[in-house]
């Protein structure tokens, strides 16, 4: 079953909450992985972004949509950066 992609501003409140929760959960796991690998700073920074996402998600109805979308994008980019930092040269473009 496929889903059509939606812009953040087109998502309803439940969809936004789910998106924030999904990204925050992935960031928390990435933070744990980074700390397990000995990169405490990356773990702490990643956990801070996850916490910020969780904090904002409790107030999505009243927040600035553009700011919320930007924070979500930053979380996704951080996940990408963390996942690709151990990739070999074949993954670099």
pLDDT tens readout for residues 8-47? 888 899 999 999 999 999 999 999 999 999 999 999 999 9
Rounded to two decimals, the pTM is 0.84
With H, G, I as helix, E, B as strand and everything else as coil, classify residue 77. Answer: helix
Of 3, 9, 7, give the one whose Cα is nearest residue 66: 9
Asked if 27 contacts 75 with a C-beta cutoff of 8 angstroms, the reply is yes
Dihedral sign for Cα atoms in the order 11, 13, 18, 23: positive
Asked if 64 contacts 56 with a C-beta cutoff of 8 angstroms, the reply is no
Distance between CA atoms of residues 7 and 28, nearest Å: 24
């Amino acid at each position: 079953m496929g889903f059509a992609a939606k812009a953040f501003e087109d998502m309803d409140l439940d969809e936004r909450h789910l998106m924030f929760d999904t990204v925050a959960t992935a960031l928390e796991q990435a933070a744990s992985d980074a700390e397990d690998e000995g990169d405490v700073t990356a773990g702490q920074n990643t956990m801070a972004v996850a916490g910020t996402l969780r904090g904002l998600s409790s107030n999505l109805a009243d927040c600035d949509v553009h700011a919320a979308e930007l924070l979500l994008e930053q979380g996704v980019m951080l996940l990408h950066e963390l996942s690709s930092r151990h990739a070999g040269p074949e993954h670099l473009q």
